[in-house]
């Protein structure tokens, strides 16, 4: 598998309105790729096209070596999907949710039982296997969704805002699970998120979408080098103005030259600064 995911000149139009516009990108095997953008940027639609839930209006999409339009069944066998909506059955137990999913994928016994035990252990839910899902916390339900998505041993995992609505401690525990999957299993992942620190911590490369277009892509180091590693912040009324500089030293030198430094400060740039610079909007 030379590339895990490939999109070439992909368009998606709903009611004559372009939602994804000429999107091209590739994801390498074993990579965690973060797809960022404001609400309505086209991220979730891109995930839906990649996971065979909706068909592209135009363009070529290949996932795990299979054409998404012509080989949907083969694609589905190679992918796991964790959507932001809770999609596990609350009236079934943890084990019953896993068992049902395993049967849907025609995983034979005793392999199915082995895999259920393995993945429940991995996401730290083995001791809750007989509990009804509706008794679990939000973080536990999300971990169950991840375990279920991994049950058939997919090559690629799609995570659409997997930690949305979770408290910081639970979110960070999920980060460790996601990172462990990548490091221990070599799993390729595409992640969408509204949390900048999540993308910084997890992603090898980052793409920024806005109004259906991919407007920037690179590693965090590449993005900071391109847009500036240092920032001068100046308070203006109830908001801050940001000016980028190539290095933090250049930002500090600029501040030192100012006769009036009131309401001014410098710091290193981060991904959220670059995102706002690119899109002109906050993620929320």
- DSSP of 134-149: GGS-HHHHHHHHHHHH
Length of the chain: 284
How far CA 8 is from CA of 84, 214, 236, 277, in Å, comes to 26, 12, 43, 26
Query: Cβ distance 125 to 88 under 8 Å?
Result: no
List average pLDDT for each run of 10 residues in the chain, which is 284 residues long.
91 94 96 94 94 95 96 95 89 96 94 96 94 94 94 94 88 91 92 94 96 96 96 90 95 94 94 92 49
Query: Cβ distance 276 to 239 under 8 Å?
Result: no
**Architecture of the structural domain at 5-90+148-217:** 3-Layer(aba) Sandwich (3.40)
pTM of the model: 0.91
**Beta-sheet strands, E only, within 110-187:** 156-160
**Nearest C-alpha neighbor of 186 from the set 145, 143, 153:** 153
Domain boundaries, the chain: 5-90+148-217, 222-279
- Give the per-residue pLDDT at 1: 57
Dist CA 60 CA 71 (whole Å): 12
């Amino acid at each position: 598998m030379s590339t895990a995911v490939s999109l070439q000149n992909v368009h998606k139009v709903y009611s004559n309105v372009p939602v994804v516009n000429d999107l091209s990108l590739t994801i390498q095997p074993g990579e965690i790729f973060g797809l960022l953008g404001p609400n309505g940027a086209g991220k979730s639609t891109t995930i839906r096209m990649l996971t065979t839930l909706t068909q592209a209006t135009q363009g070529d999409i290949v996932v795990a070596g299979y054409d998404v339009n012509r080989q949907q069944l083969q694609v589905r066998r190679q992918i796991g999907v964790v959507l932001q909506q809770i999609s596990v059955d609350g009236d079934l137990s943890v084990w019953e949710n896993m068992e049902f999913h395993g049967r849907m994928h025609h995983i034979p016994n005793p392999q199915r039982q082995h895999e259920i035990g393995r993945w429940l252990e991995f996401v730290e839910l083995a001791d809750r296997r007989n509990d009804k899902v509706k008794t679990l916390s939000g973080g536990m339900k999300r971990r169950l969704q991840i375990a279920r998505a991994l049950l058939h041993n997919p090559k690629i995992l799609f995570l659409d805002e997997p930690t949305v609505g979770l408290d910081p401690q639970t979110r960070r525990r999920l980060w460790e699970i996601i990172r462990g999957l990548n490091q221990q299993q070599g799993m390729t992942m595409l992640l969408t998120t509204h949390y900048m620190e999540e993308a910084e911590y997890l992603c090898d490369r980052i793409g920024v979408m806005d109004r259906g277009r991919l407007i920037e892509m690179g590693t965090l180091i590449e993005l900071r080098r391109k847009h500036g590693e240092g920032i001068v912040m100046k308070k203006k009324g109830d908001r801050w103005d940001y000016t980028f500089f190539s290095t933090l030293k250049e930002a500090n030198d600029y501040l030192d030259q100012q006769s009036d430094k009131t309401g001014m400060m410098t710091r290193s740039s981060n991904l959220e600064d670059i995102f706002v610079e690119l899109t002109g909007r906050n993620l929320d």
